[in-house]
Chain A
Amino acid sequence: MTEKNTSLPAHLYDIRKKVEGYAREYGLDFYETIFEVLGFDEINMVAAYGGFPNRYPHWRFGMDYERLSKGYEYGLSKIYEMVINNDPSYAYLLRSNMDVDQKLVMAHVFGHVDFFKNNFMFRHTNRKMMDQMANHATRVRRYQDRLGVEPVEDFIDRCLSVENLIDYQSPYVKRRADPAPDEEEKRQVAHGFKNEREYMSEFINPPEFIQEQQRKLDEEQARAKRFPERPERDVLLFLLEHAPLERWESDVLSIIREEAYYFAPQGQTKIMNEGWATYWHSKIMTERALEASEVIDYADHHSGTLATSEGQLNPYKLGVELWRDIEDRWNKGRFGKEFEDCDAFEARRLWDRKAMLGRQKIFEVRQHYNDVTFIDEFLTPEFCIDQKLFTFGYNEKHQRWEIVEREFKKVKEKLLHMLTNFGQPIIAVEDGNFENRGELLLAHKHDGIDLKVDYAKDTLRNVQTLWRRPVNLVTKVEARGIIYRYDGREHSDKKIDL
C-alpha cells in the first residue's frame, strides 16, 4: 500500500485502505492510484483540463471551466468523480462530499483504473501522460512567448477543427506496407523520333533531347503513382508529413494529434468503462464497504447515477446492465449452440445450467472488447426488451423528435452506428495532388447520413490554411454527389456523379 499518499486526510486514508483491499480481493488489478482532495473550483479546473493539472493555454479550457463553475454555482450539476489513465493513476475527490460519497467514488475509481490497465484499447496509450501533458504545455507556452499569444492560439483553433480526423483504429492494425525493398518498377525508356538512318540519329535525336524526353517520362510515371497510395484516414498525419508547415506549427499539430490519440480509447470504451466501474462500486459498496447508516445516501446517489432520460443513453446504466446480464448468462450457462438453438420459450426463460462462469467471463470481456464489439456480441433481444431500448429520429412532418422503433435489429444497428468511428463521419485523404495541381482531396465515406454542410465548409477553410493550396471535399448531399472546394478566397461546389 502506498505511503506516498499522505495528502489524504486520516479518515479518508483509512477508507481508501479498506476500499482498496476489497477491490483487490475481488480480483481487480489496477495501477497505484493517488487520490487528491480538491475544492470545487480546483476540481472544476482539473475537469476542464480533461483531468490533468496542467495543459497548454487555450480558451476552450476556460469555456469548459466557466460552464462547470456556473453549473456548480447555480446548483445544476457538480463533478462527482474524475480519474485519469496514467501510471500511477490520479483521481480526484471533492472536498465537500460526504464520506459515503468518497467511498463510492473510490470504489468506482478502482474499477476505472483496472479497466485502463487491462483493456486492450489502452495498451498503446502513454502511461506517463501526466508528464507529457506538462511538456506539451511548456512547448506551447514557449511558442507563445516567441510568436505572441494570438497566432499560436489561432493555429490551435484550426488544428482543433480537424482533431477528429484521426484514424481511430490505427494503433491496433497495420495500415501502411513496410517500405518495399525497392521493388523495381519498369522504367519506360525514351526512344526519340523514329529514324531508319543510323548515321542521322545524332542529329534527329541528339543525346540532350533523349535525356529531356526521358526526364519527362519519368516525371509522368511518378505523377501517375497515387499519392497517398491508399486513402489515408489519419488526415492529421498526412498533413504533418506533407503540408508545408513551419517547424512550430508541425510541433503544435503533432501535440494535438498525440492528445487526440490518447483520449480516443476512452471515448471508444465509454459504455464498457463506466459500466465496469459502476458494476464494481455497487458490488464493493453493497457487499463489503457500506455501513448501515450510509445505506440511504448511497442508494440515493447510486440511483442518481443510473437515471435514464428518453433521448439520451446513460452509459453508466446501459453498461452496468450489460455487464450484469453477461455475468448472469454465463453463470446460468445461457450461451453456446445448445442455448441458441433452443426455441422453446419457457425452457429458454428458465435455462440454468449452473455453469458459474460469470465472473471469469466478465474479466475476460473487459480485456478484449471495446464498445462496438461489446454491443455487437452481447446485446440480446431479451436485454433490449428488458431495458426498453428504442431508436428515435426527427419527424419533419410533426417537427419534433419521436420514438421510431423498438425492434432489436434496428436498435442494435443504430447503436453500433453511433459508436462506429466515434459517431463521426469517416473522412480520408483521397489525393494529395488533386487534378495535378497540388490540391488536397478529402473524401467522405457516405453511409446514409449527410454532413452538416455549413460546418463542413468552415472546416474545409481551416484545412486550407494548413494545406496552403486549395482543398476539396467529395461527399453526397441528398443522395447526389458533390465536391466542395475552398481555394483560400472563396467557396465553390460542383455536382458530380458518384
Chain B
Amino acid sequence: MALKIKQDQARFRDIVRGRIKHNLKKYIQKGEMIGKKGKDFITIPVPTIEIPHFRFGQKQQGGVGQGDGDPGDPLSPGEGEGGGQAGQAEGQHTLEVDVSLEELADILGEELELPRIQPRGKDRIVSTRIRYTGISPSGPESLRHFKRTYKQALRRQIASGSYNYLRPVIVPVREDRRYRTWRQVPLPETNAVVIYMMDVSGSMGDEQKEIVRIESFWIDTWLRKHYKGLETRFIIHDAVAREVDRDTFFHTRESGGTMISSAYKLCRDMIAADYSTSSWNIYPFHFSDGDNWSADDTRVCVELLRGHILPAVNLFCYGQVESPYGSGQFIKDLKESVGPSENVALSEIADKDGIYGSIKAFLGKGK
C-alpha cells in the first residue's frame, strides 16, 4: 500500500531542496535529532521547518529539570535547549536507543551524501578486522557475554519459580549462556593523521570553539571509518604556535595577535619529521576567524602551503568561523592563491547550523 503521507513527504523534501515554496527556505533548520553515544549527545542532521509563531525568546526563559547537582552547575550540552516548550504531541511516546560510532558515521555519510574516501597509494594492503556483531547460544567461553547470560538465567529462574528475592542467587546453566559472535570486515591497511590547527587569539570566542569542537568530532568519526589507525595532532597558535593535547586544544584562550604562518611552519615540520608521504594519508585542518597579522604573513602562509604542505597531504582544509571581531580576509586570500588546487577545501562557517554544510565541503571531495 502506498501511504498517503508519502505525498506530504515528497512535498516537504521539495521544500528542503529549494524546489518549491522559497518563502519557507529561511525557516529550514538542521541538526535536530539527538541521539546518545555513551554519555555524549550527538545530533543527526534532519532538516525541519519551523513555521514562525509568537513565542518566547529562549534564553530568558529557562525551565524546570530533575536530577543531581548544585546551583551553578552546568547542564550537559544539548540539555536545556528544549526548555519550556510544552509540546503539543498527542500522547505519543518515543524511546531513545544507543548508536555506535560506526553507525553514526554511516548516518552522517548518508545524510550529507559523502563519497567514500580513496586512500592514496596503489599498493594498498587489505587486512581483515573482526567486529563483534551478534549474540549466539554457542561459542567459546572466552567470548561469553556476561550480562546477557545473567539476564537469561534470571529470566529462567523467575519463570520456573526458583528465584528467591530474599536470596537472589543466579546460577546460569548451560542453556543460559550467550556468546558474542563476530563478522570479518575488510579494512584497508592504511594510516592517516589529522593535524588540527586552531587560532586561539582573543578574537575566537567560546561559541567559535564549540563549532570547531563539533566539527572535529564529525571529521574524526568519518575518517576513522576509512582508516585503520587514525592519529590526531593538535596545534594552537596566536603569534607563535605550539603543539598541545586535545583537551588543551579546545580550552586554551590566549590574547595575543595572530600569525598563521607560525602554525603552518610547525605543521610542515611535523609532517617532515613523523609522517612520510608514502605511507601516511595526511589531513591538516585549520580553523580561524580569518584575521591575520599582516599581508606579509599571509604571503608566507601561501608559500608554505604551495611549497611544502600541499604536495604532501591528501587534503588541506581551512574553515573560517565567523566572529564579531575577525575581518575574514584570510579565506579570500587563500581563495585567490591556492583556491583552485585540487586538494584544498575552504569553507566559511557562519554558525552552528553551518557545520554540516562545512563538513560536506571538506569531506565531499572524497580525498
Contacts and interface: CB of A to CB of B under 8 A. Distances in A.
Interface of A: 41-42, 45, 47-51, 54, 57-63, 65-67, 70-71, 74-84, 112, 150, 153-154, 157, 160-165, 263, 266-267, 270, 273-274, 291-293, 295-296, 301, 304-305, 308-314, 316-318, 387-394, 396, 398-406, 411, 414-415, 418-419, 422-425, 427, 444, 448-456, 458-459, 462
B133 interface: no
Contact of B65 (A41, A67, A75, A390): A390
B142 interface: no
B55 interface: yes
A316 B94 CA distance: 12
Interface in B64-88: 64-76, 78-88
B125 interface: no
Most chain A CB atoms below 10 A, which of B5, B46, B62, B74: B5
Given A80-B94, A392-B63, A459-B52, A402 B75 contact: yes
A54 to B, nearest CB: 7
Contacts of B88: 263, 266-267, 422
A162 B53 CA distance: 6
A389 B64 contact: yes
Contacts of B83: 311-312, 392, 401
Given A312-B82, A313-B63, A403 B73 contact: yes
B51 interface: yes
B103 interface: yes
A274 B75 contact: no
A311 B92 contact: no
Contact of A308 (B13, B67, B73): B67
Contacts of B35: 74, 76
B12 A401 contact: no
Given A83-B91, A266-B91, A313 B161 contact: no
Most chain B CB atoms below 10 A, which of A50, A63, A75, A424: A63
B59 interface: yes
Contact of B5 (A65, A414, A454): A65
B126 interface: no
Contact of A70 (B12, B44, B58): B44
Smallest CB-CB A-B distances: 6 pairs: A311-B79, A62-B8, A401-B80, A393-B62, A62-B9, A62-B12
A456 B4 contact: no
Given A48-B5, A392-B64, A394-B62, A310 B76 contact: yes
Nearest to A444: B54
Nearest to A305: B93
Contacts of A313: 63-66
Given A74-B35, A153-B11, A296-B154, 12 more contacts: A60-B49, A62-B5, A78-B97, A83-B91, A162-B54, A291-B159, A295-B155, A310-B66, A390-B69, A406-B71, A418-B63, A455-B54
A79 B94 contact: yes
Contacts of B44: 70, 74, 76
Contacts of B94: 71, 77-80
Given A51-B92, A402-B73, A411-B64, A452 B8 contact: no
B96 to A, nearest CB: 6
B60 interface: yes
A396 B74 CA distance: 12
Interface string B131-151: 000000000000000000001
B51 A161 contact: yes
Contacts of A54: 4
A458 B52 contact: yes
Contact of B54 (A50, A59, A318, A456): A456
Interface residues of B, number: 79
Nearest to B87: A267
A480 B342 CA distance: 54
Contacts of B48: 63, 67
Interface string B91-133: 1111111010001000100000000000000000000000000
Given A71-B94, A77-B94, A462-B52, A390 B62 contact: no
Contact of B12 (A50, A60, A414, A458): A60
Contacts of B173: none
Given A80-B93, A392-B80, A394-B59, A74 B99 contact: yes
Given A80-B94, A310-B65, A388-B68, A418 B86 contact: yes
Interface of B: 3-13, 15, 20-21, 23-24, 32-33, 35, 44, 46, 48-49, 51-76, 78-88, 90-97, 99, 103, 107, 151, 154-155, 158-159, 161, 206-207
Contact of A404 (B24, B59, B71, B76): B71
Given A76-B35, A76-B44, A82-B91, A164 B9 contact: no
Contact of B24 (A47, A157, A162): A157
19 contacts: A45-B4, A47-B92, A60-B49, A74-B35, A74-B103, A82-B90, A82-B93, A150-B20, A154-B23, A157-B24, A163-B53, A273-B91, A295-B158, A389-B64, A392-B80, A394-B80, A402-B73, A415-B64, A449-B60
Contacts of B151: 296
Nearest to A301: B95
Contacts of A309: 65, 67, 76, 79
Most chain B CB atoms below 10 A, which of A163, A309, A393, A459: A309
Contacts of B159: 291-293
Contact of B90 (A154, A266, A454): A266
Given A75-B99, A76-B96, A305-B93, A45 B63 contact: no
Contacts of A317: 66
B57 to A, nearest CB: 4
A442 B160 CA distance: 68
Given A266-B90, A312-B82, A424-B54, A450 B46 contact: no
A304 B96 CA distance: 8
Contact of A293 (B62, B86, B99, B158): B158
Given A58-B8, A60-B12, A63-B12, A79 B92 contact: yes
A74 B90 contact: no
Nearest to A473: B54
Most chain A CB atoms below 10 A, which of B58, B66, B75, B159: B66
B14 to A, nearest CB: 8
B67 A310 contact: yes
B95 A78 contact: yes
B206 to A, nearest CB: 5
Most chain B CB atoms below 10 A, which of A153, A402, A454: A402
Nearest to A235: B54
Contacts of A459: 52-54
Most chain A CB atoms below 10 A, which of B64, B80, B161: B64
B5 A161 contact: no
A298 B30 CA distance: 36
B97 A77 contact: yes
A422 B89 CA distance: 12
B271 to A, nearest CB: 35
Contacts of A48: 5, 8
Nearest to B36: A76
Given A51-B90, A62-B8, A75-B97, A165 B54 contact: yes
B55 A424 contact: yes
A449 B83 CA distance: 14
B65 A392 contact: yes
Most chain A CB atoms below 10 A, which of B13, B15, B23, B92: B92
Contact of B95 (A59, A77, A388): A77
A453 B54 CA distance: 9
